[in-house]
Amino acid sequence: MFFMVKTRMAPSPTGEFHIGGMRTLLYDYAFAKKNNGRFIIRVEDTDRERYVEGSIERALQVIKDYGLSWDEGPDIGGPFAPYIQSQRLDLYKKYALDLIDKGHAYHCFCTKERLDELRKAQQAAHLPTTKYDKHCLSLSSEQVQKNLSTDVPYVIRLNVPSDKVLAYDDLFLGKVEFPSNDIDDQVLLKSDGFPTYHLAVVVDDHLMEITHIFRGVDWLASTPKHILLYDFFGWEMPKTGHLPNLKEIGVNKKMSKRFGDVAAAEFLKNGYLPEALLNFLMLLGWNPGTEREVFSLEDFIDAFSLEHIHKTDLVAFDREKLLWFNGCYIRQMEEEALYNRIVAWAQKWGVNIGIDEHDRDYVIKVLALIKDRMKTLVDFVSLSKYFFVDPKVEPAKVRSVAGDKHSEILLGVDRIAAGLSSSDWTKGNLDKEFHDFAKRSGYTSSQALGTARVVVTGEDATPPLADLLEVLGKDTVLRRIRAALSTNSI
């Protein structure tokens, strides 16, 4: 029996690390830290057919990018190294052979053709599930040895007993039972010498002293096979809980790429802050028992408890709620910190944010004006573009604001801009001058300010006009006004 709490996450190099996996990892991490335990990363790379080059390196990096770490793993080692399953093959074979010696597993020499025919026959008989028929279990020891000595390809199968009820107490679902007659004689060791998931995960979780396992409810069907293996080895099974899977709003199945990003890295690439993502993920399957929604990682660890895990199959991944969370985090950041974050994000993901020719102080002033309208870091590009590049002004947009008075309004705006000295170029003076001009000339404020806004920014919705004019500076504003006046179409 193990006394220190130990949890693990075991990414597989069969694709990009899923956002749902990050949620599970977060719960593993929080539970271990809450109980002064250890959190392990282990690479489960035994599915060689679906292996994706570089995906494990990317998975480890994105976990770090989300601000999480581990106490043992493939990159830092630990007392149970190696932490990559493909480097532990001799170990799995040893335990598979041990099961054979105890009568709990057996060599199977059936060809693919025989297995295909067996499956077709069972399907034709309308059986509820297709299962191996234990044909090779009846082979004599002499026949098995002959096949092995002549290198007949084989797998090692679990010998599932009949008429048993396999039960365990799930941390979240309560008591769960499985009839053994519904369970196939699972392959444990494949013909290429690689273990299947079921053998490797049980062996590694035991040897690495894992005490608690959290995984998605879609893995529930695997649990009876693991119950048998723990029983056959004479080992204590870790406490196991199945978490609700993530689903899209209005859809009653697991998240799909069809609805948007599902890879954890894609959310970062698309301008979500890791701390906002973590806060959002905290609440996808757990609640604090209060109305509180905003948690730092440290606060979450302190508040986390298994009693507040949702007992359901699916929990909604509300993308609009995530966007709201991210916007909240952006608005709470100091402009200088936000500047550093945007620059680092742009460099990491190769995004041209168009600020290379402008100094830091100028960009920070821009951020002070637009950050309340930002929901992701990507929004910086669209919301700030006219601060860095002269806009293309659409004549129709100008006329829609001021009608046939646009030219005379624009001349008045030019006079105001030209008449203010650089020292008087403040948002207070600019706001007063524009409103006085509108009142004096008989224009509405929306006509006077709207014309200036469209000509200077190319947009009809911006931060307060006087604020952005102050940041842009007199020279830029005058240049843009006069460019518009020189255009015959305006």
Spell out the SS3 assignment of 260-312: CCCEHHHHHHCCCCHHHHHHHHHCCCECCCCCCCCCCHHHHHHHCCHHHECCC
Instruction: Output phi, psi for 105, to 5 deg.
Output: -150, 165
What is the token pair recorded at 487?
């255009």
The Cα 336–Cα 344 span in angstroms is 12
Sequence-distant (≥ 6) Cβ neighbours of residue 431 within 8 angstroms: 464, 465, 466
Sequence-distant (≥ 6) Cβ neighbours of residue 445 within 8 angstroms: 434, 435, 438
387, burial (CB in 10 Å: exposed 0-12, middle 13-18, buried 19+): buried
The Cα 66–Cα 26 span in angstroms is 10
What is the token pair recorded at 280?
């959002």
Nearest of 448, 462, 454, 447 to residue 480 by alpha carbon: 454
What is the token pair recorded at 303?
């508040």
Catalytic choice (33, 131, 225, 257): 257
Report CA 143 to chain centroid distance, whole Å. Answer: 51
Give the SS3 label for residue 125: coil
The Cα 253–Cα 157 span in angstroms is 32
311 as an active site residue: the answer is: no
Which residues are annotated as catalytic? 257
